Amino acid sequence: MPSPPERARAYRLRAKLRHGDALEPEDAAWLSDYEKTRDEGASASEKITHTEERRIATGTGAAAETAAAAAFEREAGRREDSLAKIGIEALREACVAYRDMMKELRVRNRDLEEVHLAMLDAVREQYHARTQAEIDKMQAEAAAEEQQDPLTKMAADAGGAILKHMAGGK
């Protein structure tokens, strides 16, 4: 692929020719060689990848075939390297996105855990308060029962025994 200074020189020499100026013999030879090596119809990527292969393949015989095959293999290796680089870069971007996602999920999970623990604490406190209220109620009932007069207590016990006997129990 021609370098920028070569392209600039070729542009200047072509401009001289368009204006009708004569070129120095070495400039004319250089421009002629430059025009021959340049492939007008090829895209930039085609020029880069196939110029060397075409140059080698212009020879004849087994040596040219071997050289062309070697150039083709080199180019295939370059293509594979390029594809590997593209794949690795895509994998790197995916890993970065995955890492960012995991960071966000870790923060979200920590927040959810804190809320869950706060809810459990609230339920536990209410459970303890209810349990204590039931204990207090049961103790108050037991104390009230102990304070009943003995005659009422005996009647309640006898009533329970009579009901038991009527139900078929002994």
Mean pLDDT by 10 residues, the chain (170 residues): 79 89 87 76 53 59 73 82 90 95 97 94 90 92 75 70 66
Q: Which residue stretches of 19-149 are H helix?
A: 25-37, 44-57, 61-146
Grouping H, G, I as helix, E, B as strand and the rest as coil, residue 139 is helix
Radius of gyration of the chain from Cα atoms? 49
Question: What's the pLDDT score for residue 146?
Answer: 72
Is residue 40 within 8 A of residue 32, CB to CB? The reply is no
Burial of 96 (0-12, 13-18, 19+ CB in 10 A): exposed
Give the C-alpha separation, 130 to 93, whole Å.
55
The confidence score (pLDDT) of residue 73 equals 82
